A and B are shown apart, each in its own frame.
Chain A
Amino acid sequence: MSNLRGYISSRRLEDNNIIDQSVQNLVIRKACDKHGFIYMLSATEYGMKNCFLMLNQVLQDAKKNKNDGIAFYSIEQLPRNLKIRNRIYKIVTKNKKKIFFSLEDILIQSEKDIKKFEDLLKIKFLLNFCPKKFNYR
């Protein structure tokens, strides 16, 4: 059984939503249960804009084998900056850890998963620049 450290946010997510921390924890707990992961009490990212001090701490702990990976609440917590995302992916490729996105039920544990996931993210980012409404005429 894998021990996954929960990771929740205390600021707006990338989609501009604010989700109550207790709800984020519930979603992670339920998703971990479903997959048979042991949920370790969540680390809460600080509220300051573009701050990833807590995420970096959790990544450091993963490298030191204090957990088997990270259970995010959602992919909307991920930074737009690819450099930071690559630091997250590194613990999958180098340290053989798991990255799990609870709300979307997406598990990343291989390079193939990362590639597929990055495609999904890029499409999501691009959708922000697409028309939001159809003109049926």
Chain B
Amino acid sequence: MKNQKNIEKRYLKMGYIIERVEKKIALEYITNFLKKNLLKILKKKKKNINSFSFNNLHNFITIQDLNEVRLTLFKEMNSEKKFRDNFFKLAKNTLYSTVGNELAMQNNINLSIQMPNDDSSLLPLHSDTWDGDSPFETVLWLPLVNCFKTKSMFLLNSNRYENFKKIYKKKKVKSVSNLHNSLKKDLNFIKINYGNFLLFNQNLPHGNVVNKTKETRISLNCRFKGLFTPYAQKKLGGFFSPISLRPASKIGLEYKFPGE
């Protein structure tokens, strides 16, 4: 209970939390699934699985081939129900504490691959709510490598959000890159190691820049929201599916007045 209060407090204050994954076995499943499939794509032998590191992926594929690799992996992982279940297990209790215990989960888990100096895979500064997501959503972000500096994603410090609103209101900002430059000093690159997950408030502006480190970043992300909270353009059915439903709600959904 104490830990739960602490998580709530940090999430509200910072706009994000970093925690150890709750089920190590689920992380191992996810890591091995992606490694196996990558080795298959790269036509390498399965016995190399332990020595293969995601950090070095840029040594095996070119930026030109990256999108095809990404799409193949995306299709493989999202066609496997077990993959989705394991992803949820990584942070189930923390999600229950921060979002609710009746949850909707995004239908497809997203995959990001940021190779060093690749400017074709960028996600400029944005808030998901500006792009049609509900402000009730939260993002579970899982690094499969250690992330730091430009290898990671950035997030606006939540205590600078009021300042951001002032900048936006002044209407002097003309483009996305212009907005990014105005906020640069308030953006925080998240330092997070493999074995942990990040849960962040997607209403805060975030994004990534060209990875200037010498290592590749592979990360997964997926949105969660309270099942009965308002949806925006990303609807229940097409974009989200229920992942946990409590008995009282199940009874309520089935209820009919006598005689009906």
Residues of A within 8 A of B (CB): 10, 18, 20-22, 44, 46-48, 51, 53-54, 56-57, 59-60
Cα A136 to Cα B90 with chains together (Å): 67
10 of the cross-chain contacts (CB-CB < 8 Å) are A10-B131, A18-B233, A21-B233, A44-B132, A47-B129, A51-B130, A53-B175, A53-B178, A53-B179, A59-B175
Cα A27 to Cα B152 with chains together (Å): 34
Contact of B81 with A by CB under 8 A: no
Contact of B174 with A by CB under 8 A: yes
Residue numbers in B under 8 Å from A44 (CB-CB): 131-132
A47 touches B175 (CB 8 A): no
The contact size tier of chain B is 10 to 19
- Expressed in whole angstroms, the minimum distance between the Cβ of B135 and any Cβ of chain A is 11
B132 touches A47 (CB 8 A): yes
A60 touches B175 (CB 8 A): yes
Contact code string B4-39 (vs A, CB < 8 Å = 1, else 0): 000000000000000000000000000000000000
Q: Which of B117-141 contact A (CB under 8 A)?
A: 124, 126, 129-132
- Expressed in whole angstroms, the minimum distance between the Cβ of B31 and any Cβ of chain A is 28
Residue numbers in A under 8 Å from B238 (CB-CB): 20, 22
A10 touches B130 (CB 8 A): yes
Given contacts A18-B233, A21-B233, A46-B126, contact A53 B176 (CB under 8 A): yes
A57 touches B233 (CB 8 A): no
A20 touches B233 (CB 8 A): yes
Cα A59 to Cα B178 with chains together (Å): 13
Residue numbers in A under 8 Å from B132 (CB-CB): 10, 21, 44, 47
A10 touches B175 (CB 8 A): no
